[in-house]
Amino acid sequence: MSTTLPSDYIPRFTRDEIRKRFGYFSECCQEYLEFFKSRHPTWELQFDPLVLMNVSISAMDDIWRWKVYHLREPQERRFSDAIKRATYFTKWLVKLRPIHFVNRPVVSAEFLSRFDKEETTLLINEYFAIHSSLSFLATDAKRDKIILAPKTMGRLLYHLHYRDITSDSLMIWYQLVATAAKNELIIMR
């Protein structure tokens, strides 16, 4: 019995494509950690490659499902756009949290002796997710970099960390950022 695939069949990502995306994210993650190390020499950060591979596979599976179930034209399905990549990689980076601190105290008394109410290191994965996503959007907008206003960055960090933000909400948010990065109008008046 021969199986014939429909003409509009979209294959899942191959191992090579997943490895390529994982390699890209590994490099980005390493550069990101080195940047933080240069600014905070006492921080000892690492990323877990197994978790980062899981991020790559999960995000690429979400992108594949988006193509299969939402795009009708074969030419639309060939490549994902920057907004989908930003959305799904943000979702999985925040959910699976591949970056962690090596030297964070784990004994309660020691941790409490260093406790700082203004501690932001807990948001390191959210920062990386936003950094990576803005990189996707900047490339698509043909810009060197996209830098969010501090208040906007704070709000996004807050929502990623403390709220249940859906993929659809993230997609809309990143669409607005991409539109603004291309200097296209969002509001007429």
Q: Which of 3-17, 44-58, 124-138 has the lowest mean pLDDT?
A: 3-17
CA angle, residues 176, 123, 147, in degrees to nearest 5: 35
Report which of residues 79 and 122 the model is more confident about. Answer: 122
Among residues of the chain, what percentage have pLDDT more than 70? 86
**Position of tokens 């406790």?**
115
| Whether the predicted model's global pTM rises above the 0.75 cut | yes
Residue 8 has pLDDT above 70, yes or no: no
Exposure b/e, 120-138, CB count within 10 A at least 16 = b: eeebbbbbbbbbbbbbbbb
Give yes or no for a contact between 63 and 84, defined as CB atoms under 8 angstroms apart: yes
Which residues on neighbouring strands pair with residue 45, listed in sequence order?
A: 101
Residue 160 has pLDDT above 70, yes or no: yes
